[in-house]
Structure 1
Amino acid sequence: MARSSRTATLYRMVMPGHVCPYGLKSLWLLQRQGYTVDDRHLTTRDQTDAFKIEHDVSTTPQTFSEGRRIGGWDDLRRHFGWPVAEPGGTSYVPVLAVFAVAALIALAIDILTTGGVSWRVLPNFIATAMCLLAMLKLQDVESFSSMFLNYDLLARRWLPYGYIYPFAELLAGVLMLAGVLVWLSAPVALLVGGIGAASVFKAVYIDRRALKCACVGGGSSVPLGLVSLTENVMMVGMAVWMIATVV
């Protein structure tokens, strides 16, 4: 097999107790792009520090090609036209991932219980999404409540609501998925969904504030807006539908 005419030199940390994951990623990306890589290992902390001083860089790995330094992992991605998440940037990917997984779980539940796909897939999807979103919030309730206070109308008036919200969302989602205790799950979903929808609408469309949504937890990069509003409207719609079917 002919060797690639494109070559690169990669310096990365490979120590007995630590192999830099970004170094491995850089090696993989260079090879994927067809480069012949001179893979040079920095095997001690002193060797790594000396390399940084010599090349006036603050991090490793570092890639060199055609007599110039390309840079670290993010620089390498930019060099090949790959997207790079910027610090403080926003993304809908986290919440879209939740919705996609919820949809697949809802389909699996429907196929398991009915042998096919029925109208039940929609309420199962909403209930599953509520459970997954609550789980993400519950990973760090303190961080979630702090971000939630930026825009939620009730939490600003009664601070404990910020801590209660993810538990209430999980409770409503689980009960709705099980189809039990509608007298409890529907009012809870109606309450948290209604207040949430009003809060998002006021913050985004009336006050015109640029905020991040706490819907997937306190470390969220999801912008507050249509997706957040949709989450709350789904909860309200689910609650209304359940009340209507019982009545």
Structure 2
Amino acid sequence: MTHTYQLTGMTCSGCENKVKSNLLILPNVTTVEVSKDINSATISMDNHIDLNALQAALGGKDSKYQITDLAPTNAIEEKKSWLETYKPILLIFGYVTAIAAIVSWQNNTINLMVFMRIFMAGFFLTFSFFKLLSLKAFAESYAMYDIVAKKFSPWGYIYAFIELGLGLSFALNLFPTAVNWVTLIVMTVSIFGVLESVLNKRKIQCACLGAVFNLPMSTVTIVEDAIMIAMSAAMLVLM
């Protein structure tokens, strides 16, 4: 279910990010969208959450952030299917797979090494693009679950450019051994935070496509990282 509330006290993007983060850690909250311009918060939740609990998450009744109900007509049921939820990432994987298959088609068969290299180039270039669209928002979301970004906040900013560099390196076939080792290490470290969040059933936003799409953290994110780990390891072995 999705409810829209009036939320006052936000004066900058930092306020918006703080409010969003505080609400996302509540049990049963799946997504949160806030706007300082229209003083609103739209919250999707698995089960209804009392207004007092929402206010407590924002610092209590004395907080500068005050959340109140709007008219009941603004509360709507919104249940998305699995396919609707993950449509953006499924489309990206479909396009990248198709391009990799076309480029790697040689002598009436697919060259596996070329396929994996082009797939990973497309993957990293596309995902880094969405992260760079709103780098600050990505870094803040990433710090909510990544084991490195939690302790070293600039890592979110660095990570987006690492993905960009890996994408370009795979596309140009530069230093393949070193690039695959970096991919293997970076993605292995990344998957630990994802596994922890999914196993603990934390309802937080996945930052894999930056802040553009509200994708919930789930096994899909684990599969995404695992594919990159498996491909980089396979390429190292086949070399």
Shift of 1:188: 2.0
- Which residue identity lines up with residue 107 of structure 1 in the other structure? A
Answering whether residue 202 of structure 2 is matched by residue 215 of structure 1, we say no
Q: Which residue of 2 aligns with 1:91?
A: 85
Answering whether residue 167 of structure 2 is matched by residue 167 of structure 1, we say no
Structure 1 distance, partners of 2:108, 2:134, is 37
Q: Is the 8 A contact 1:145 1:218 kept in 2?
A: no
In percent, how many aligned pairs have the same letter?
25
Q: Is the 8 A contact 1:196 1:229 kept in 2?
A: no
Unaligned runs of at least 5 residues, structure 1: 1-83
Q: Which residue of 2 aligns with 1:224?
A: 217
Structure 2 distance, partners of 1:158, 1:187, is 22
- Which residue identity lines up with residue 125 of structure 1 in the other structure? F
Q: Which residue of 1 aligns with 2:141?
A: 147
Unaligned runs of at least 5 residues, structure 2: 1-77
Any runs of at least 4 consecutive aligned residues in structure 1 with deviations exceeding 6 A, and if so which?
Answer: none
Answering whether residue 176 of structure 2 is matched by residue 182 of structure 1, we say yes
| TM-score of the aligned structures, taking structure 1 as reference length | 0.58
Q: Is the 8 A contact 2:133 2:210 kept in 1?
A: yes
| TM-score of the aligned structures, taking structure 2 as reference length | 0.60
Q: Is the 8 A contact 2:116 2:231 kept in 1?
A: no
Q: Which residue of 2 aligns with 1:243?
A: 236
Deviations 1:154-195 (A, max 9, x none): 011111110011111121222223332124312221222111
- Which residue identity lines up with residue 223 of structure 2 in the other structure? T
> Aligned match of 1:202 in 184, 188, 196?
196
Shift of 1:95: 0.8
- Which residue identity lines up with residue 193 of structure 1 in the other structure? M
Q: Is the 8 A contact 1:126 1:234 kept in 2?
A: no
> Aligned match of 1:156 in 136, 150, 158?
150
Q: CA RMSD, aligned part only?
A: 2.5
Q: Which residue of 1 aligns with 2:102?
A: 108
Q: Which residue of 2 aligns with 1:128?
A: 122
Structure 2 distance, partners of 1:182, 1:126, is 12
Q: Which residue of 1 aligns with 2:67?
A: none
Aligned length: 159
* Residues 1:185 and 1:123: Cα distance change in structure 2 (over 3 Å): same
Matched residue of 2:213: which SS? coil
Query: Rg larger in 1 or in 2?
Result: 1
Shift of 1:230: 1.5
- Which residue identity lines up with residue 220 of structure 2 in the other structure? V
* Residues 1:163 and 1:169: Cα distance change in structure 2 (over 3 Å): same
User: Highest relative contact order (Cα 8 Å, sep 6+), 1 or 2?
Assistant: 2
Structure 1 distance, partners of 2:95, 2:138, is 22
Q: Which residue of 2 aligns with 1:57?
A: none
